[in-house]
Amino acid sequence: MGWYDADIDRVIITEEELRAKTAELAKQVAADYASVDGLLLVCVLKGAVMFMADFSRELGKVGGPPAELEFMAVSSYGQGTTSSGVVRILKDLDRDIAGKHVIVVEDIVDSGLTLSWLLKYLESRSAKSVDVVALFRKPEAIKVPVPVKYVGFDIPTEFVVGYGLDYSERYREVPYVGILKPEVYQR
Ligand code: PRP
């Protein structure tokens, strides 16, 4: 039992399902990029760290091209939990991405505002191609349409935590994805 189990109302995606989906996404990407000599994976901190770690290893195992791993941290100017679409870079890419095949590795697409900004940013840095793999998507929450080529799971617009997703910086280490009991965020 983890300390967090008592705070979870129900599990919506198990560890096994996360593993299987990650392998499936890695296989698709490996097949689509079979002819390139390298991929640059861009992880958007912090929520995507678990997925980045597992996805990049799967990609290697299923015969994908060699990957370089980059990390960015961004923060959206906005009130509370609502993204405004105006993004500030807290940690930029460490190296030049010009001419590289880039894949953005995201945990979740919610309103789409962060990703929409990020795609423009990466294109302005002259990436050769930019695609997105997102493990989760909340289809009902989308405010701006964003081209997400690879999507793991569509999830309900509820308070989900785990596998990188937090509530107030906690629950990221939960190995499954679950819905938080309302009393936790009503405390
Ligand atoms: C989450 C997630 C995306 C963004 C998606 O990050 O990792 O980057 O929100 O939301 P949007 O589609 O509405 O723009 P968050 O700002 O919660 O930071 P975190 O990853 O550090 O938890």
What whole-number distance in Å separates Cα of residue 49 and Cα of residue 71? 9
The residues with which 129 forms a beta bridge, in sequence order, are: 101
The ligand 1 atom at the shortest distance from the C-alpha of residue 76 is 16
* 111 in contact with ligand 1, CB cutoff 6 A: yes
| pLDDT of residue 77 exceeding 80 | no
DSSP state of 119: H
- Mean pLDDT of the region 152-179: 96
Active site residue 110: yes
pTM of the model: 0.93
What whole-number distance in Å separates Cα of residue 100 and Cα of residue 129? 7
The residues with which 144 forms a beta bridge, in sequence order, are: none
Confidence of residue 80 (pLDDT cuts 50, 70, 90): low
Confidence of residue 161 (pLDDT cuts 50, 70, 90): very high
Q: What pLDDT is stored for residue 26 in this prediction? A: 98
With the most atoms of ligand 1 within 8 angstroms of its CB, the residue from 43, 44, 121, 167 to mutate is 44
What whole-number distance in Å separates Cα of residue 104 and Cα of residue 115? 9
Bigger pLDDT: 155 vs 78 = 155
| pLDDT of residue 79 exceeding 60 | no
